[in-house]
Homo-oligomer: A and B are copies of this chain.
Amino acid sequence: MKLPTSTEWVLHCAATLAQLRPAETASAAQLAAYYDLPAPYLAKQLQALTRAGILSATTGPRGGFRLARAAKDITMLQIVEAVDGAAAPYECREIRQQGRGGLTPDECQETCPLARTMAEAHTAWRASLTAVSLADILAELPSGAPTRTRRILMG
């Protein structure tokens, strides 16, 4: 069970964009230099966040990415699922209906207790990541962080 390496990239890029002033944007190249990441691959991930409605992209010479809504309205889960999808890690293929021991569809009208337990764990994971917003993350950074971030990113 692995999340893509780019999950760390986009979480950090989103937290970085959350430190800009309302009208400001940052390009994929600026963010890639800030974290020493491969710009074309990072750009693809930022586009995925844009499609998910977390970032908005502006074009033109001063174009770039910014948050599509307030940092308090963007959860960790939304960012992670924009990159990795929302599918649960456990997939039930109804093996209880297979083989010599197979149950009939009639006997399987309720969700298998094993599948249900695995789904509950995924729900707990999602709830944990829903409870934390980008604003919560920003609140944990040192007070000088936004000024430093903007200076280096835009510089």
Residues of A within 8 A of B (CB): 1-3, 5, 7-9, 11-12, 15-16, 32-37, 76, 80, 84, 87, 89-93, 95-96, 98-102, 113-114, 117-118, 120-125, 127-129, 132, 137, 140-141, 149, 152-153
Q: Which of B90, B128, B132 contacts A7 (CB 8 A)?
A: B90
| Nearest residue, chain B, Cβ from A79 | B114
Contact indicator B3/A99 (Cβ below 8 Å): no
Q: This chain: how many copies in the complex? A: 2
Within 8 Å CB of A92, what residues of B?
8
Q: How far is the CA of A123 from the CA of B124 in the complex (A)?
A: 9
Q: How far is the CA of A142 from the CA of B96 in the complex (A)?
A: 14
